[in-house]
A and B are shown apart, each in its own frame.
Chain A
Amino acid sequence: GESVGLHLPTLSVQEGDNSIINCAYSNSASDYFIWYKQESGKGPQFIIDIRSNMDKRQGQRVTVLLNKTVKHLSLQIAATQPGDSAVYFCAGVDNNNDMRFGAGTRLTVKP
């Protein structure tokens, strides 16, 4: 199965700076990966996903990078805003369509 984890439990950045949240995975057969944002008292919210045949995918202010060689993906948030403060989860989906979440990184944006 998939084992997904995050490098850091917390990340603090200054408003306006770029944020990078990292994630490592163990199952090289994972079909794709998803980043979720979870604000306090809410369910996880889909941010962006990436298929295993891609290296990079961009959204609005967010970019996900996938390095299959070292089984690592990252979420980059440009010009981080106070509203970006939340816990960010990476999740891996294996070839059985089973999704496994990592423990999460809490992003705090300082004004």
Chain B
Amino acid sequence: EAGVAQSPRYKIIEKRQSVAFWCNPISGHATLYWYQQILGQGPKLLIQFQNNGVVDDSQLPKDRFSAERLKGVDSTLKIQPAKLEDSAVYLCASSLGTGDTQYFGPGTRLTVL
């Protein structure tokens, strides 16, 4: 079974630039999550989708972060404009449904200079 796919794996940008990350969940998984993991910390949930609807985006900095899952499968996370403190690994995870075991992708390491 294919796992969660993410791209790119690494991205370096300058502050105030824009960046987008892509996630393809495990086939059949209705729930998709985006996490931010700052170096030395545990992952922090940014947003959770159930199919193409947002379940929880309370921790998403909406002035600069946005995410979508238009067809209920792939998802993109965008940061515009980026700040230095956005440097982190952005993890995508998926699960069969809400409350089920989450499976993580390899993450995208973002460096903002």
Contacts and interface: CB of A to CB of B under 8 A. Distances in A.
A36 B44 CA distance: 14
Interface string A23-47: 0000000010010100001111110
B25 interface: no
Interface residues of A, number: 22
A31 to B, nearest CB: 8
Contacts of B45: 98-100
Nearest to A101: B42
A97 interface: yes
A93 interface: yes
Contacts of A104: 40-42
Helix, strand, loop or mixed for chain B's interface? loop
Interface string B76-113: 00000000000000010100001101111111000000
A103 B40 contact: yes
Interface in A52-111: 89, 91, 93, 97-104
Helix, strand, loop or mixed for chain A's interface? strand
B4 interface: yes
B43 interface: yes
B5 to A, nearest CB: 11
B14 interface: no
Nearest to B99: A97
Nearest to B41: A103
A49 B106 contact: no
Contacts of B40: 103-104
Given A43-B4, A49-B101, A97-B99, A89 B42 contact: yes
B57 to A, nearest CB: 12
A43 B98 contact: no
Given A99-B45, A102-B42, A46 B98 contact: no
